[in-house]
């Protein structure tokens, strides 16, 4: 019998989560093409298929959120944002969305920053006395989800709004020490995203951080993951402008063309954009988008990444990139790009792919950071390269090796 798998989304009422919920309902009914799903694509698809991956029709959704907007309303909003979801989606899958709604629990918002605090609704927040108490509550929710729905396995994906940066220099390198800070709200250096990560790992459930927030990206939490033999991956889904950078920069390197400056200006108008409009939160995202070039180029050109919230654009991320480079005899040249992408529609299939792939890693006995997933992230943990082509190869090679092990 097909094992039943659970997909637990933190930020379960947000734009990406709503798109995941609609898309999954459509996939279950055979109403959606598999466009955008890497694990259904021509290269990876056949390799993944042989590993008996999560089946869309046996996947059960649940999650945490700090707001109460029903998923159908979130979906309708996307429909009305210039078709970020096909029209009629919310209506067509009203039952599935309502069902998923019932499995969403109040979240925790420890040190989440001013913009997230403004989002929080009464009744949607679990107020815990200490970080440790918060973790235990999260873990209890996760385990109840598994039990109530007779799930064989659960994957946790963090899709919560972007938190302010954490001063990583101040984090203890060993789990033993970091763990101690959890009982003291004042002394704990972590934010909510990391509490979710710890809870998932302690529950033995693989954890994916799709956001630029810290999550599990520190030595101590990775140590915990390896101790518990749990897989984790992340940081910050690579869906648009940064994806293009990691695709194009290798060309400049191969051709020995010197990038003098690379400017990226991003505008969009959804809730994510609103949160990022707060300078404390924005710092986290800009940092994540801005670090990819030097490892590819071998030097650091002047770069500038700006992100601005323009309400009329809704979920449509528009990014203008201006690359100024030098060729033979020093002749200066220019490449400009305009990317007009729908952020949630770009992100949602990757969330499903990551659930599948980290589940495969976990089932094949891996633990700690799953490095071959680097290509999915802007700031991949422990990545050997930022070159998207190279990352894609590593992913294929890894899945092929799982096949090898399996046979």
Return residues touching ligand NAD (CB under 6 A).
10-11, 13-16, 64-67, 107, 109, 112, 116, 119, 159-162, 192, 210-211, 236-237, 239, 270-272, 343-344, 346-347
If binding is defined by CB under 8 A, does position 122 make contact with its own copies?
A: no
Contact 331, 19 (CB under 8 A): no
E strands, 161-276, in order: 207-209, 231-234, 258-268
In the bound state, the residue with its beta carbon closest to Na ion is 343
Position among 86, 172, 294, 295 found at the interface with its own copies (CB under 8 A):
86
Position among 9, 18, 37, 154 found at the interface with its own copies (CB under 8 A):
37
If binding is defined by CB under 8 A, does position 313 make contact with its own copies?
A: yes
If binding is defined by CB under 8 A, does position 173 make contact with its own copies?
A: no
Beta carbon of residue 225, minimum distance to Na ion (angstroms, whole number): 26
If binding is defined by CB under 8 A, does position 338 make contact with its own copies?
A: yes
Q: What angle do CA 249, 251, 253 make, to 5 degrees?
A: 75
Beta carbon of residue 162, minimum distance to its own copies (angstroms, whole number): 20
Q: Which of residues 178-207 bind its own copies (CB under 8 A)?
A: none
Beta carbon of residue 176, minimum distance to ligand NAD (angstroms, whole number): 26
E strands, 159-276, in order: 207-209, 231-234, 258-268
Beta carbon of residue 93, minimum distance to its own copies (angstroms, whole number): 11
Q: Is 83 left (phi over 0), alpha (psi -120 to 50) or beta?
A: left
If binding is defined by CB under 8 A, does position 405 make contact with its own copies?
A: no
Judged by CB under 5 A, how many residues of this single chain contact Na ion? Answer: 2
Which residue(s) pair with 342 in the sheet? 316
Beta carbon of residue 291, minimum distance to Na ion (angstroms, whole number): 20
Instruction: In whole angstroms, give the CA distance from residue 386 to residue 323.
Output: 18
Position among 343, 353, 359, 387 found at the interface with Na ion (CB under 5 A):
343
Contact 66, 13 (CB under 8 A): no
**Other C-beta atoms lying within 10 Å of the C-beta of residue 306:** 14
Instruction: In whole angstroms, give the CA distance from residue 199 to residue 130.
Output: 14
């Amino acid at each position: 019998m097909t094992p039943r798998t659970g997909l637990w989304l933190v930020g379960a009422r947000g734009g990406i989560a709503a798109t995941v919920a609609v898309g999954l309902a459509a996939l279950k009914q055979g109403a959606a093409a598999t466009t955008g799903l890497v694990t259904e694509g021509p290269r990876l698809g056949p390799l993944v298929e042989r590993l008996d991956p999560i089946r869309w029709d046996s996947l059960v959704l649940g999650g945490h959120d700090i707001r109460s907007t029903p998923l159908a309303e979130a979906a309708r909003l996307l429909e009305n944002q210039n078709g970020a979801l096909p029209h009629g989606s919310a209506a067509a899958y009203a039952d599935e969305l309502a069902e998923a709604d019932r499995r969403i629990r109040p979240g925790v918002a420890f040190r989440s920053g001013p913009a997230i605090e403004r989002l929080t609704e009464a009744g949607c927040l679990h107020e815990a006395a200490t970080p440790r108490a918060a973790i235990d509550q999260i873990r209890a929710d996760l385990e109840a989800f598994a039990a109530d729905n007779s799930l064989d396995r659960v994957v946790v994906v963090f899709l919560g709004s972007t938190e302010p940066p954490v001063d990583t220099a101040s984090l203890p390198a060993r789990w033993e020490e970091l763990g101690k800070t959890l009982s003291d709200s004042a002394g704990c250096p972590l934010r909510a995203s990391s509490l979710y990560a710890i809870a998932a790992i302690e529950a033995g459930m693989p954890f994916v951080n799709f956001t630029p927030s810290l999550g599990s990206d520190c030595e101590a939490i990775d140590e915990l993951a390896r101790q518990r033999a749990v897989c984790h991956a992340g940081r910050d889904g690579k869906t648009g402008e940064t994806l293009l950078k990691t695709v194009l920069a290798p060309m400049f390197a191969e051709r020995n063309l010197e990038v003098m400056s690379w400017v990226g200006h991003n505008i969009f108008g959804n809730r994510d954009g609103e949160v990022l409009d707060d300078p404390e939160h924005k710092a986290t995202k800009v940092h994540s988008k801005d670090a990819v070039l030097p490892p590819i180029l071998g030097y650091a050109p002047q770069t500038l990444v700006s992100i601005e919230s323009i309400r009329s654009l809704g979920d449509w991320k528009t990014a203008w990139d201006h690359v100024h480079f030098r060729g033979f005899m020093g002749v200066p040249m220019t490449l400009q790009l305009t990317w007009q992408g729908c952020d949630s529609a770009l992100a949602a299939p990757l969330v499903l792919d990551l659930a599948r792939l980290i589940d495969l890693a976990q089932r094949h006995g891996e633990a700690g950071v799953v490095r071959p997933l680097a290509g999915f992230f802007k700031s991949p943990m422990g990545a050997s390269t930022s070159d998207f082509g190279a990352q894609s190869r590593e992913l294929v090679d890894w899945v092929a090796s799982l096949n090898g092990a399996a046979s």
